Amino acid sequence: MTLLQVVIRVVLIGAGATAIMDAWLALLKRSGVQTLNFAFVGRWIGHLICRGKLSHPSIGKAEPIPGELMIGWITHYAVGAAFAGVLVALQGIGWTSNPTLAPAVAMGVTTVVAPLFVMQPAMGSGFAASRTPAPIRNCLRSVANHTIFGIGLYLSACFIESVVR
């Protein structure tokens, strides 16, 4: 496999896993469960890049950024691709041709560190959602969402391998 083929495969695995997580989030939202507003991710990224501001008392009350929803979605998928890259870097390129579930789920669960200890504090929710009305429930929901992402890494790798065979 050429480097370009590896990069394309990793990006597709990450995008597929992110889409699977998004389908899960849409299902939760239809069930009345509040999910992440990706405009807030874009707002946070916009303030970080354009204004150098890392943390906010409440990202929802921060000044909106033009195009924040698109920025949030692009960031969401770029991070999914980056996490897929980390998985492949750790497991080796052979994992993409012969994916196994355990490393993918372990990677998915590991990625929960990003929202709990970086994004939530920076957006005003505190470490591990400690400033929210239900921190334990929010943390468990994050772990479940990222476990779904891990399952998505595996399913996406399986699907891509079945298409290229």
Nearest-angstrom CA–CA distance, 56 and 32: 27
Place of tokens 């849409």: 26
Question: Would residue 143 count as lying in a domain?
Answer: yes
Residue 116 has pLDDT above 90, yes or no: yes
Question: Would residue 91 count as lying in a domain?
Answer: yes
Rg of the chain on CA atoms, in Å: 16
Taking each helix axis from N to C end, the angle separating 68-91 and 135-164, rounded to the nearest 10 degrees, works out to 70
Question: Would residue 44 count as lying in a domain?
Answer: no
Residue 165 has pLDDT above 90, yes or no: no
Nearest-angstrom CA–CA distance, 85 and 99: 14
Question: Would residue 156 count as lying in a domain?
Answer: yes
Question: Would residue 147 count as lying in a domain?
Answer: yes
With bands split at pLDDT 50, 70 and 90, how would you rate the model's confidence at 90?
very high
With bands split at pLDDT 50, 70 and 90, how would you rate the model's confidence at 26?
very high
Which candidate, 122, 157, 141, places its Cα nearest to that of 12?
157
What's the distance, Cα to Cα, between the start and end of the chain in Å?
A: 13
Question: Would residue 18 count as lying in a domain?
Answer: yes
In sequence order, which residues have a C-beta less than 8 Å from that of residue 47 and are 6 or more positions away? Answer: 53, 56, 62, 63, 65
Number of domains into which the chain is organized: 1
Question: Would residue 46 count as lying in a domain?
Answer: no
Residue 114 has pLDDT above 90, yes or no: yes
Question: Would residue 66 count as lying in a domain?
Answer: no
Which candidate, 136, 156, 137, places its Cα nearest to that of 148?
156
Task: Write out the residue range of the structural domain in which residue 155 sits.
Answer: 7-35+78-164
Give the Cβ contact number of residue 23 at 10 Å: 12
Token duo for residue 22: 């998004």
Residue 18 pLDDT: 98
Q: What is the pLDDT of residues 53-89, one digit of tens each?
A: 999 999 999 999 999 999 999 999 999 999 999 999 9
